[in-house]
């Protein structure tokens, strides 16, 4: 095989590798996540479940989020999201929770949003106030189900394991930091108790949360690296083509 053909094939492989890296990085942006992704232990925090629509020909029409039952949260308040209705499911606790406001014998176990639509290429945030956050855990996992208008259901329920590659459909996670340390600032005071009936979306806009997840940062880095490799591959292909023409 001539050296010009070898160079040409090498350029094609490099360009394909760059494109593959970029494509592999894209799904990481489409995860359902909690933002911000950390909050202080023992306090109250407002977080938002960020839900992108990753299908090209269907809209997201339903979101179900399961709250952790191993670390129940005494107070859960929902910020109205225009066009969406929130239904709260509660359950009796085997061991009542003691709070500054008294004893709580039931807690929210699931929140379901319906009635709205997230079009392809768009995302929606669903803000929730939680507290007090447990001080005996390092992470809270919120398993979520995302339903599309064509009937597809994406189950964001896989729990990431330390030292292992990120699963295909990771569950949203909220990291709990030491009180007074890094993480989202906790609002002062206790929010209202969790509503027990349906909550309809009002006119307030969903709050945009600052701070992205670590998976987004990793995906961006991979995307930039993939683009760089692709550009180098294309340039090498052009160079090889010119050398081949000269030969």
Q: Which residues contact 245 (CB under 8 A, 6 or more apart)?
A: none
**What's the mean pLDDT in 49-77?**
96
CA distance 208 to 188: 20
Helix ranges (DSSP H) in the chain: 3-25, 214-246
Higher-scoring residue by pLDDT: 95, 199:
95
Domain boundaries, the chain: 1-30+213-247, 32-211
Provide the phi-psi class of 4: left if phi over 0, else alpha when psi is between -120 and 50, else beta.
alpha
Question: pTM above the 0.85 mark?
Answer: no
Burial class of residue 117 (count of CB atoms within 10 Å of its CB; 0-12, 13-18, 19+): middle
**Tokens matching residue 84:** 């969406």
Q: What is the chain's alpha carbon radius of gyration, rounded to the nearest angstrom?
A: 23
pLDDT tier at 162, thresholds 50, 70, 90: confident
What is the band of 79 on the pLDDT scale with cuts at 50, 70, 90? very high
Q: Class of 32-211 per CATH?
A: mainly beta
The token pair that represents 202 in the structure block: 């009002």
pLDDT of residue 230: 53
């Amino acid at each position: 095989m001539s050296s010009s053909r070898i160079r040409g094939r090498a350029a094609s492989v490099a360009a394909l590798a760059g494109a593959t890296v970029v494509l592999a990085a894209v799904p990481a942006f489409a995860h359902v996540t909690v933002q911000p992704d950390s909050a202080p232990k023992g306090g109250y925090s407002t977080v938002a479940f960020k839900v992108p629509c990753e299908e090209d020909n269907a809209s997201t029409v339903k979101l179900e989020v399961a709250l952790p039952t191993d670390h129940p949260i005494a107070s859960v308040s929902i910020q109205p999201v225009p066009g969406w209705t929130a239904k709260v499911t509660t359950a009796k606790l085997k061991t009542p929770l003691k709070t500054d406001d008294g004893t709580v014998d039931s807690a929210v176990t699931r929140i379901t949003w319906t009635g709205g639509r997230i079009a392809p290429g768009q995302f929606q945030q669903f803000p929730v106030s939680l507290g007090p956050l447990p001080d005996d855990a390092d992470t809270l996992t919120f398993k979520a189900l995302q339903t599309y208008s064509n009937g597809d259901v994406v189950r964001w329920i896989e729990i990431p394991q330390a030292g292992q590659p990120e699963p295909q459909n990771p569950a949203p996670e909220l990291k709990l930091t030491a009180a007074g340390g890094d993480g989202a600032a906790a609002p002062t005071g206790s929010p209202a108790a969790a509503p027990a009936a349906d909550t309809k979306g009002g006119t307030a806009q969903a709050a945009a949360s600052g701070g992205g997840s670590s998976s987004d940062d990793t995906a961006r880095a991979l995307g930039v690296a993939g683009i760089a490799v692709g550009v180098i591959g294309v340039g090498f292909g052009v160079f090889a083509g010119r050398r081949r023409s000269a030969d």
